Amino acid sequence: MEVLQEAVGQEALTARLFERADAGTLAHAMLFTGPPGRGGLALALALARRLHCTSPQGGGACGVCPACQQHAQFQHPDLHFTFPVIKAPGKDKALSADQLGTWRALLREVGPHFDMADLRERMALGNKQPFISVHEAADILRRLSLTAHAGGWKVQIIWGAHAMRTDTANKLLKVIEEPPAKTVFILMADSTENLLATILSRTQIVPVPPVEPAGVQQWLAGMQAQPDKVSDAVALCEGDLAKARRLVSEDAAGEFAMFVDWMRTNFARDGRKATAMADAFHDLGREDQKQFLAFALHMVRQCIVGNYGAAGAVKLRASERSFAEKFAPYIHHGNVVEMQAELEKAARDVTGNVYGRTVFLDLSMKMMELLHRAR
Ligand SMILES: [Zn+2]
């Protein structure tokens, strides 16, 4: 039952799709919804392998037949991948085919539980927005018009389907509505938002639920991470394994220490130190500045959740909780709206290339005032 292990935490959904495949009632076009880290791709791969396996056993693929071996390398000739890309250097069209090596390397090295942030990093996109072009749609139509190599099922996966341009989606409407015989479309998107109604009406929507905490825990156990990081990740990842993996591997301690220091400085109205800190923030560079501001916004929001909502709803690491308990009383209805607006404005200014030192010094001055405001 190797296959079921791959679709971590989605065993029930996997079993249901396998049953439909066996009964011949599998929809020819499905849309898996949910963040990629929940395992939509793992599920799609398991289903494709099940369809291609020549001697399925006990509900799963056998793992040893030639088809299963091709699947192990993500190289089965009737398994097609489409995902958002930008034009490769020297090419005039943006095609997934030009990035398949990167895609397969990511699958091999990280496994199927990755998200757009992971793929962006692999493809070294910088600030460019990847998309699924109309040329990709033409490529899909061409591939699917060919006879299946093994005379069996053709599986077309469209990962990040929300990145399809309108002309791309329109070009695919007909084939999604009436695919060639023995062809399955599996589209994947975070949600049904940003997809054309005409696409939605032609697909069976299959919501992929969050992975249960026990499933996340079990999956992380294979990573040899520190136990406190694992328990934080289980609590904070929202059933998303891509997030969980980042939570155990990233070092958030630096950011948190900086936030504590900065807020203490602002509370003490220490102008000299605030100036020195603005210089330090400036030197971090734009991406780290944005990340720090996002973290600060997250901390402020969690304080408000702690003050006015259920304690269980607070999403903080164990190490952050004791500070947050002491800091939270200074965040209240009298200042939280403005505080969030100021942090968001600072993030926009950083994105818009405003001088970092100025952004952070202004922000500190605002925080000094807001932290002392009456409830
Ligand atoms: Zn097999």
- Residue 220 to residue 213: CA distance in whole angstroms: 10
One domain for residues 162 and 280: no
Distance from Cα 154 to the centre of ligand 1, integer Å: 16
Give 10-residue mean pLDDT values along the chain (375 residues): 61 93 94 97 96 87 93 95 94 95 94 92 84 97 87 94 96 95 96 94 97 94 84 91 88 82 95 95 87 90 81 80 87 93 95 92 97 89
One domain for residues 232 and 258: no
One domain for residues 204 and 71: yes
One domain for residues 240 and 262: no
Distance from Cα 56 to the centre of ligand 1, integer Å: 6
pLDDT at 200: 96
- Residue 3 to residue 63: CA distance in whole angstroms: 8
pLDDT at 2: 39
One domain for residues 270 and 172: no
One domain for residues 193 and 121: yes
pLDDT at 285: 84
What total number of domains does the chain contain? 3
Distance from Cα 10 to the centre of ligand 1, integer Å: 21
One domain for residues 283 and 193: no
Q: Which residues surround ligand 1, an ion (CB under 5 A)?
A: 53, 61-62, 65, 68
Distance from Cα 292 to the centre of ligand 1, integer Å: 48
- Its domain, for residue 227, covers 218-249
- Residue 310 to residue 220: CA distance in whole angstroms: 27
pLDDT at 6: 67
One domain for residues 101 and 224: no
Helices 40-52/11-23 angle, 10° precision: 30
DSSP H helices in 178-315: 197-200, 213-221, 227-236, 241-249, 253-267, 271-284, 286-308
One domain for residues 201 and 230: no
Distance from Cα 352 to the centre of ligand 1, integer Å: 53
One domain for residues 163 and 260: no
One domain for residues 142 and 185: yes
pLDDT at 3: 37
Interior CA angle at 276 toward 274 and 280, to 5°?
A: 110
pLDDT at 294: 87
Distance from Cα 72 to the centre of ligand 1, integer Å: 10
One domain for residues 21 and 168: yes
